[in-house]
Each structure stands twice: as C-alpha cells, then as structure tokens.
Chains A and B, each alone.
Chain A
C-alpha cells in the first residue's frame, strides 16, 4: 500500500467515526434536543468529512457535504430555530453521506443525490420566513405569549451576570413566592449576606440547564432549588428563552433553565452535593467565586441553612474545613467562572498548577477538559497481550498449588508473594480488558438507519429506541454482534411489527416501537430486541414445523417450546419471500453465531403484544472467576457470577416431586436440585451434601449438588469446541494449577439437565474431534 492509499484508508476510518458522531447528534436533535453543542458537533463532523473528501478529490462527496453543511449552518447561526430543524431530512442526508463515503471507498460510481441536495437548499429559504401557523386557538397562543413576555420583562438588571448569547429574558423567581407552595418558614438570612445582596455578582453562580426529561423523572424544579437554598441565601432567575411557542410546547418537557446567584461565595462541594444526586454533571455548572475565595468573606455552609430543613448545623470547625477544602477544588473551575471570578483568581497565580489535577465536575462549556490524546493500536497486539495475561493466570495458580506442598514456614513466605502476584495479575488483566472494551454504541448506532430504511421498504411505521448503548464489552464480542443484531431487527421489522393499518385496527398506535437495549448482568452482557408487534403466531409456527418434520405429529410442545422453534434451521413463516428477511437465512443462523461466542439467545413472545429476543454474551472470551467444586471425583468450575449462595444440605430440606425431580426448599422458594455427579459423569446419583444455589440468565434458580467446594480462583477459558467437541452441561474448559483440565459448567443448561438427569457426558465423549 502506498502512502496515499494509507492516508485514504485512515480518512475512511475517520469518516466512520465522524458519521457515527453526526448521526448521534442528529438523532439527539430529532428527539427534541436544543443543545447548541449538538448542532455544532454535527456541523463539525460534516465539515471534516468535506475537508478530507476535498483532499482526495471525491467530488460527489464534497458537493453533497457542502450542501449539507450549508444547511446545518442555518441552525448554527440561528436563522433556522433548532426546534424547527428538519431532522428527518438531516438523518436521511447522513445516510446518503455514508453511502457516498462507501462508494468512494470502493471506487464505485455514486448516486449524487441531487434530490436531497435540492431539499437541503430549500431548508434556509422555507424556514427563513417563519410561517404563521396559529390556526388553532389563537387566543390561547396569545395568552401564552403574553405570559412568557411578562415573565421575560420582569428582569431585574444585574440580578445575575448575563451570558452574551442569551437575551435578557430572565426574571427573579423565588420558591417561597410560589402560590402553589404551602407556607414554610422563611430562610434565615446569613449575617455576611447583607452587603452581598447589593452586589450579587460577587457570589457564586450556579447555572442549571436541565435535560428536557426533568419532569418525567419526577423532579420538581423546586426540589432542586430548595436544596440550594439550604446552602445559603440566594436569588433565583428563571430563563424562559428555551420555552417554545404554545403549539410546540410539550407540557411533559422541561424547557426552563435557572440561574442561581448566591449572595456570598459558597463551596463547590456543597453545591455538587446538593445537585449531584438529581442531575448529570452536564446539567449544572458553577461559576463565580467560591467559598474561601471571595474577598468579602465566605458564607459558612452550615450557618446559612434555613430553619425549614432538618439539617444538623455544621460546627464552626467543620465549616472551616469545608471552606479550606473548597479553596483547593475551586481552582479547577476558574476558567469557567462567569466573568465575576476575575478578582479572586488573579491573586493566586501560583495555584494554577492545581488545575490539571482536579477532576472537572461542573462541565461548563468554557471549562471543557482538554482532549485526551489517543493512539491507534493493532488489535493483534492487544490480543497477544490478552493471551499472555491468560497464561500468567495459569502460571500463578500453578505456583499457588506448588506453594501448598512446601513446609508451613516456607509456604507462608511464598504465599505472601503469590498473593501480591494474584492482585497484580488481576489488575493487569482489568487494564488489558479495559483497552479492549468498547461501548456497544458502535454497533447500535448502525441500527437506526436500518430501521428507517426497512420502514420505508416495508411501508411500516417504526421507531427504534436505544438504551444502554454505553455498556462496554470486549471488542471481539462487539464485532460479532453486528450480524445477529441486524438479523434480529430485520426479523422484528418484517415479522414482528404489523402494518400501520393493522395496528390501528387492533387499537395500537400506528407507529411500532422496537426497543434495543444492552445491560451488564451477572458478568455477561445482555442485549435484547423487543418489539410491540403481533408476537409469534404459535399455531402457524407449529403447523409449519410439523409440515417440515421438525416436530413429531403427536408431540404437544409447550408455548415456550413452540416459540423456540423459531431458531430451528430451515424455517420461514413469512407468507411470501420478502426483500427483507426472506433470504434463506433465519434465526437459526443468529443462534449459531451467538452460541459460537459462548452466548445464548432466547425468545419471549406475548401474542398480540410483542416479542422479545434476548441474547446474553460473555463480557470477555478469556478469563472468568470460578468456584472449583468436586463431584464424583472430578473437578468442575462454576462461574462465580452465577452463584447466589452456597449451603450444606440436610435431609429434611430436600423433597421429591412425583416426576422424581428433587427440589430444595430455600428461602421460601422451591429450587430444583441438579446432582452434578450424575449429570456430568456416569456415576450413580450419590448423596452430595453441598448445594450451590446458582442463577441462570433467565433468572431461574437451580441448586447444584456437589461433594465439596475446593476453592475459588480465576480460570482461563479454553474453548471446548475448537479443542475437543461440544459437551452438554459445560460451556468451556480450563486448565487448573496442577495442569489438569476441568470443565466450566454452563449453569443455564442445568435446570434442563436436572429435569432429565441423563448422562450427557458419555454421549459427548463419542464426539471426539481430536
């Protein structure tokens, strides 16, 4: 590869990141964000794409990006209000940019998308003359506007330092004046505040910029303001600039913003403590002088607490300590101080060095942390590192084993060293894992486009809701996620969601919702795709399965078992082959992909109401914490993450069901018992006396009966499939300290195996691939 090619490749790689950022920002705007940073970031992203494309002479891409950028610029300059942004068009355009980039990458001729360019060019013009759309209830609109105007005109000059960007639409607002408020004792005025009231700009200023979902989280802004009021005397101004017109106002949205000016300087911690529990760090910022810094002397934390709240008054010593501590912390925010901080900051240049060391908590725009430098590393190198860590884990458990054979005196000395080594190995491993970890966002981000396109192809209305996209998981897992996810979403769009007409007829909203979520659970990542469509048609599915010979004619499978047929190979229930999912690849492929990753996929269907596919995958494919147990003379590893409790079995707690299944009474619950020896080896059921209560991914509990617990240690996961063959009941194998192999139990299969209580290991032994 010559130098130019290499540069091009790195441009395309960068494009992927830029496009992801672009789409995320546009998505945010589409969901109602009015954060100017969303607009700016989207603009910057497309601008960078344009710049790079120009350098390599991708003319089509440059043209399109230029039109797109110009259109976004209208939002940036405010010619088009952010609330009125044609986000749908923008999203389609970001898809088009992705296509153009792909075309450039593959050297294919591109569709120049003149249609979209034309639409983009209309953006500024159409919206430049804002259409008067007050057809509905004009008198109401007028009242609303008047109200807003009244609030806005109540500005008291100098009540708070005025930001350059926001017009003077601020008015004092005091929770105590609120007519809806029950009478409460008036806040006590702190002594030093008397003079401060005359020049409130001397005090600490807190800017509260809540997300729109504030009300939906059950937060009454008064609760926030009262929390601040407990710190010291203050003036509150409500900023109504972001309140849209009545027609656009969603009463569920919080469009209010608040500026809180303390009369004196108060410590940042006190403010952070009061607001942290309610708000994100981005939702508020602290400016102005803080406690201990103000020339007029700070308002002590405790002394200013109002009588209403049952706060314990802080002692003088505690106040002093708080002030001293805050003097340190306040330095970190000097650059985001809103103008008034200058006199305080100028006196202490020597402390500037502290800035770098202090964590940023306020997150005011001007105070954004510097970009952390990063490098691209070949994944290969990290893989090698990871393997090596795995080997060290084995060596370390081997050392521990050897140490046990020494005399007590020598052994103790060695044990100390091994303990340290264990800790360090674990740390090393965590760090290597962290390098490899990536948020699932990288994959999730591709899905909204898929849904948009499928909705168009299929003529359905659908919305994709993402959650948990910041959940981190190993890079190798991420890469393998894209295919199964795409399939699952296709499946939901094609088979799950009904057409708008059908939905309306069934009393559902015309727009179907697909919820894609990720979360960490018991050391695994659980990803689910849930739709609110028609669910699985069990009759049809069963009939199909029977006709294909997948189910015996006389079999009477349970609803759950019928649903699981969807994963059977060679099955398609769509009435006709469609563009979307009739490609001969079904959910069986998804299942195979997921299982290859050591994962599992399940389906829960609620006929008429929707269907949820849940896949659970290991966070990493390399190392896990295990409990080593012995049963029938063999050693097994039970993953610690699935263990709930261990207990000793007594005869009176075990009962036999008519089916012969043993169950255990445990904490007002009945738990099936799996005799490990009988399940995993061909030995007859014995009286194992130690019970490990474990939890499966579905949340079922199972009591695994073993002879003894030998210990707990990290084990390196070695695939059974690649080295040996599939063993029922085991998800993988590992090498223990003495060099012998032990099976890692697949807890999720235990309930089923306990019910069968067969001898699967013997069957598996015949599949020796080696």
Chain B
C-alpha cells in the first residue's frame, strides 16, 4: 500500500517509515500537516498516518483539511500520538480521523491495522 507518514520529529518519522517499508509498503514522508496536504494531493496515498502536535498545520487540522478535499473524504487517516485523553480523541474524531493510535506504537499492531484497510 502507499502510505503517507507525517511527523515533524525526524527520528520518529524515520522509525515509522522504516517499520512501514520493512513490511513492503510504499512510503511518502512529510514534516508537517501543510506539507502533508501537498504530498497527499500528489501521491494519493491509500492510508495516512499522522502525528498530532506539529508546527504550521497539526494532525487535527490536517485531518479536517484532508476530509474537505476531493479524494480525501474516504482515505483512512490514523492519528499516531502520545496523547490519549478523551478530549483529544473526541476532537480527532470530530475532525474525521479514522483511528487513534497511541505512541509508542507496537509495529505488529500498526501493520495488522494497515492490513485491515487493504481491499
């Protein structure tokens, strides 16, 4: 699958990309929500995995924007974050996030989740 991975922290992004690539996924990277939107338009990924707290456009804002764009209505968007509060989650779901995963993530869990999005 083609996956767009958005995280402003390079180490974490690298880790995420490594996990995804090792499972044979095609990965497109972005450093923040704004860049993520641009990449989203070009690459048309099957799934998006985004961090929550990022400069310029955060994960929630990204999700909201993405959902409002043609082609972005249905794409699964997974928010991968250290936050686990009910408020943050509720905000995420209101913005249209598909799933909420808490960091640090278990690679097998994430990959299993992605597997379920496969058609």
Contacts and interface: CB of A to CB of B under 8 A. Distances in A.
Interface of A: 182, 213, 215-220, 223, 226-227, 230, 276-278, 280, 308-312, 467-468, 470-471, 519, 695, 699
Given A218-B77, A308-B115, A309-B115, 14 more contacts: A182-B118, A213-B93, A216-B96, A217-B97, A219-B98, A227-B113, A230-B112, A277-B100, A310-B112, A311-B112, A470-B90, A471-B87, A519-B91, A699-B56
Given A468-B91, A471-B87, A699-B56, A217 B115 contact: no
B69 interface: no
Contacts of A223: 76, 116-117
B20 interface: no
A172 B76 CA distance: 26
B11 to A, nearest CB: 15
Contact of A310 (B56, B97, B111): B111
B43 to A, nearest CB: 16
A213 B117 CA distance: 18
B75 interface: yes
A260 to B, nearest CB: 15
A309 B116 CA distance: 8
Contacts of A276: 100
Given A216-B67, A219-B76, A470-B90, A310 B98 contact: no
A217 B116 contact: no
B101 interface: yes
B82 interface: no
The 5 closest A-B pairs by CB, nearest first: A218-B98, A277-B99, A226-B116, A218-B76, A223-B116
A238 B116 CA distance: 20
Contact of A218 (B55, B75, B91, B108): B75
Contacts of A213: 93, 96
B74 A218 contact: yes
Contacts of B67: 216-218
7 contacts: A182-B119, A213-B96, A216-B96, A218-B98, A227-B116, A310-B108, A468-B91
Contact of A280 (B90, B98, B112): B90
B119 A310 contact: no
Contacts of B89: 280
Nearest to B92: A217
B14 interface: no
Nearest to B91: A468
Contacts of A519: 91
A302 to B, nearest CB: 12
Contacts, number: 66
B28 to A, nearest CB: 17
Given A219-B76, A227-B116, A311 B100 contact: no
Contacts of B87: 470-471
Determine the main DSSP class of A at the interface with B. Answer: loop
Contacts of A468: 91
Interface of B: 55-56, 67, 73-78, 87, 89-91, 93-94, 96-101, 108, 111-113, 115-119
A35 to B, nearest CB: 16
Contacts of A227: 113, 116
Contacts of B117: 220, 223
B96 A312 contact: no
B115 A310 contact: yes
Contacts of B94: 467
A280 B89 CA distance: 8
A497 B97 CA distance: 30
A312 B108 contact: yes
Contacts of B118: 182
Contact of A216 (B56, B73, B115, B116): B73
Nearest to B79: A277
A217 B112 contact: no
B33 to A, nearest CB: 12
B72 to A, nearest CB: 9
Contacts of B77: 217-218
A470 B67 CA distance: 22
Nearest to A225: B116
B49 to A, nearest CB: 12
A276 B67 CA distance: 21
A11 B108 CA distance: 56
Contacts of A471: 87
A226 B116 CA distance: 7
Given A311-B112, A470-B87, A217 B96 contact: yes
A430 to B, nearest CB: 14
B18 to A, nearest CB: 17
Most buried by A among B76, B112, B118: B112
Nearest to A229: B116
A699 B55 contact: yes
Contacts of B111: 310
Nearest to A283: B93
A100 B56 CA distance: 47
A280 B86 CA distance: 9
B104 to A, nearest CB: 15
A220 B46 CA distance: 13
A345 to B, nearest CB: 28
A278 B112 contact: no
Nearest to A305: B112
B15 to A, nearest CB: 19
B31 to A, nearest CB: 10
Contacts of A309: 112, 115-116
Most buried by B among A217, A223, A467: A217
A37 B118 CA distance: 36
Contacts of A280: 89-90, 93
A335 to B, nearest CB: 22
A728 B108 CA distance: 54
A311 B93 CA distance: 26
Nearest to B23: A310
A616 to B, nearest CB: 15
Contacts of A182: 118-119
Contacts of A230: 112
A182 B117 CA distance: 12
B117 to A, nearest CB: 6
Contacts of B97: 217
Contacts of B108: 310-312
A312 B55 CA distance: 36
Nearest to B76: A218
A310 B100 CA distance: 20
Contacts of B76: 218-219, 223
Nearest to B100: A277
Nearest to B58: A521
B55 to A, nearest CB: 7
A96 B40 CA distance: 48
B68 to A, nearest CB: 11
Most buried by A among B94, B97, B101, B116: B116
